[in-house]
Structure 1
Amino acid sequence: MALRHYTLDFNLSAPADCPSTVRGLQSIFQEQEMTETVHDTEGHGYLATFIGKNGRLVILRVHSQGLVTVDLQCCEGDNIAQVDNLLNALEKKLKSILHGNIRGVKRLPALTRGAAVDRYWPTADGRLVEYDIDRVVYDEDSAYQNIKILHSQQFGNILILNGDVNLAESDLPYTQAIMGRGKENYTGKEVLILGGGDGGILAEAVKLKPKMITMVEIDQMVIDGCRTHMRKACGSVLDNLKGDCYQVLVEDCVPVLKKYVEEGKTFDYVINDLTAVPISTAPEEDSTWEFLQLILDLSIKVLRPTGKYFTQGNCANLTEALALYEEQLGRLSCPVDFSKEVVCVPSYMELWVFYTVWKK
């Protein structure tokens, strides 16, 4: 079962007359055979609920600050034409009752709650986005995370890990930005990719004729899901864990990095596709900051003197979080310089910041 939630808002120049506003709407609710219940708001305007035999629920609120709101809830299978007619009637009547006192009217598309296919995912800066998702392609829990691949009509298949949108088949700008494509010469170079289980970076990097790419991804189930369902992003590179110029290690990257440091192994490029910069310094984020600091430090140690380290930052609106990350860059075991680029990633529906770091 799913619920459809409609909203209709009237912003007023002055507080509305509650009794006359309510009386003016009663005939509409009576025609709908809806039962009215008035709730005591202790001087904060008027609040009433109207319940129909078909399960429809309308909440009418006349706020004392000059706002009238109508919320209508109905089952997904309810007659949409009838619901639209009810909303149209309420909007028309309120425009008549409140004539001369209206600053703005806003009617939003219905929010569908509890549907079998979830279409709502928040952006990094906390805005809710409704995607045109029409089906669940893959939904599994690995030992590390929940893995979803959902199909969007405009973005193709989208990989979502633990509720975070990671990569869609449309998101080549993300892949190009995180590897500095068009700015760097990968020919004959040695490359280390941390994470990247969707295969997008690996697929683009092998086209640039590197000497060898080592990709370290901890979650085999991400690789398996993307190999089958994200082929527009990864192509055929995940069909085998070894190719002419690449190898995929299904391991935790931290021990691998530590081993490379001990062995003195170095790379021309290190690409960190593990996690975005945390959005705050709240206690629950501390472990992520510590992890990022560890990865940064180890990555710089395996970077050749002329090498470069690439990583995503976060949403461009999260300036405080990005500033905190840049502070981290000043605390590494050796001094570094960095540059950043802001890119529009299609499925993120927001601008995203990417960093390039190199040794001074």
Structure 2
Amino acid sequence: MFSWRHWTDYPSTVRGLQSIFQEQEMTETVHDTEGHGYLATFIGKNGRFLILRVHSHGLVTLDLQCCEGDNIAQVDNLLNALEKKMKSLLHGNIRRVKRLPALTRGAAVDRYWPTADGRLVEYDIDRVLYDEDSAYQNIKILHSQQFGNILILNGDVNLADSDLPYTQAIMGGGKENYAGKEVLILGGGDGGILAEAVKLKPKMITMVEISFNVYIDQMVIDGCRTHMRKTCGTVLDNLKGDCYQVLVEDCVPVLRKYVEEGKTFDYVINDLTAVPISTAPEEDSTWEFLRLILDLSIKVLRPTGKYFTQGNCANLTEALTLYEEQLGRLSCPVDFSKEVVCVPSYMELYPCNSYRALLMSEGSLVLP
């Protein structure tokens, strides 16, 4: 990618590059841009394919595609020759040159996953450990040299072995006393929250593992039990332990039953879904779901109870503001605060611990 300060005579620039393409035995095809600069494609030996685009505002892009097994040294030599020629043709008027690393398309192991705010990240993933489709979603567990095993649901990075900071944050950042308390976990199918909470000697933990909106299903538990043991330890080996039980049920009817029975908890930890990034029509159901879960969760909190949940990428300030507005629509008044942590495998800051809220003498709400 080249950018220069002033418009130049791009036909002469293109002619200057053609000698290099001829040396590489690349065949040129010029495409009609309807007056918007210049566009040509070049096909060469070994399946090489190059796109040359000259934009009228002073940007030149070169996209070179190669097949697996091509001589990388020859490819680098071609790019070096093109860069050197461009600098010569433009007589030092180039403002910036940027060469991007190669993208590997169609590889057996997919290394590219987006952040919550739409930036593409290349992970150092070297193998696939688990790749299954449940009735609700695609479930992948991939191995990263840097982050360990990573759980990915429907293309969304959920949690890696490296992400204890996320788990600690959504549990209150080490500031809470869980000893002898009753805890309700919504979601958390990777077992990370459950494993950490069990260590804190609670009276009882109930984890509800599925909802009508976001599915953390039995196949997630099965995959994590085998491949995410650094995260979940042994807690998923059985769905019931001395101080916990895992219910693979729709969390909404379970919450409604608890409300009707008057059952309450000291802590509710919501790990079901992140804050939606927009209010587009397709997101309406998610917002309604979040409001419903919030409202039901508040109703099962004890007077001194606390509620924890995740937010979304710290860059999505508008979405986080919209979420905070939902707090004013709950069945009782709330106040809150928030805290941002760095989740290693997300490669971004994430509000994951504390929108700490006081429910007027009824309890407190913590929403990351």
Asked if TM exceeds 0.5, the reply is yes
2:337 aligns with 339
8 A Cα contact 2:276 2:319, kept in partner? yes
8 A Cα contact 2:6 2:58, kept in partner? no
Shift of 1:230: 0.4
- Measured in 1, the distance between the counterparts of 2:35 and 2:260 equals 71
8 A Cα contact 1:197 1:219, kept in partner? yes
- Measured in 2, the distance between the counterparts of 1:84 and 1:6 equals 28
Q: Deviations over 1:169-203 (max 9, x none)?
A: 10001000101031111111100000000000001
Q: Deviations over 1:115-144 (max 9, x none)?
A: 221111111111111111111110111112
Q: Which moved more, 1:228-237 or 1:60-69?
A: 60-69
- Measured in 2, the distance between the counterparts of 1:6 and 1:229 equals 56
- Measured in 1, the distance between the counterparts of 2:97 and 2:108 equals 32
Change (3 A) 1:32 1:236: same
8 A Cα contact 2:140 2:153, kept in partner? yes
Shift of 1:321: 0.8
8 A Cα contact 2:6 2:93, kept in partner? no
8 A Cα contact 1:190 1:267, kept in partner? yes
Q: Which runs of 5+ in 1 are unaligned?
A: 8-16, 353-360
Shift of 1:40: 2.3
2:361 aligns with none
Q: Secondary structure at the match of 2:241?
A: coil
8 A Cα contact 1:5 1:113, kept in partner? no
2:327 aligns with 329
Q: Which runs of 5+ in 2 are unaligned?
A: 210-215, 351-368
Shift of 1:6: 25
1:142 aligns with 134
8 A Cα contact 1:49 1:59, kept in partner? yes
Q: Deviations over 1:65-106 (max 9, x none)?
A: 111111111112222121111111111111111232111000
8 A Cα contact 1:193 1:270, kept in partner? yes
Q: Deviations over 1:31-60 (max 9, x none)?
A: 111111122223222221111132111111
Change (3 A) 1:6 1:73: farther
8 A Cα contact 2:7 2:56, kept in partner? no
Q: Which moved more, 1:82-91 or 1:260-269?
A: 82-91
8 A Cα contact 1:278 1:288, kept in partner? yes
2:168 aligns with 176
Q: Deviations over 1:254-287 (max 9, x none)?
A: 1111111111000000000000010011000011
- Measured in 2, the distance between the counterparts of 1:79 and 1:100 equals 31
Shift of 1:5: 28
- Measured in 1, the distance between the counterparts of 2:273 and 2:31 equals 48
8 A Cα contact 1:6 1:72, kept in partner? no
- Measured in 2, the distance between the counterparts of 1:43 and 1:275 equals 47
Change (3 A) 1:42 1:181: closer
8 A Cα contact 1:5 1:112, kept in partner? no
- Measured in 2, the distance between the counterparts of 1:193 and 1:322 equals 22
Q: Which moved more, 1:47-56 or 1:257-266?
A: 47-56
How well do the aligned residues superpose, as a CA RMSD in angstroms? 3.0
Q: Secondary structure at the match of 2:240?
A: coil
Q: Which moved more, 1:74-83 or 1:336-345?
A: 74-83
- Measured in 2, the distance between the counterparts of 1:152 and 1:273 equals 23
1:6 aligns with 7
Q: Percent identity?
A: 94
Q: Which moved more, 1:29-38 or 1:167-176?
A: 29-38
Q: Secondary structure at the match of 1:149?
A: strand
- Measured in 1, the distance between the counterparts of 2:82 and 2:115 equals 33
Q: Which protein is richer in strand relative to its size?
A: 1
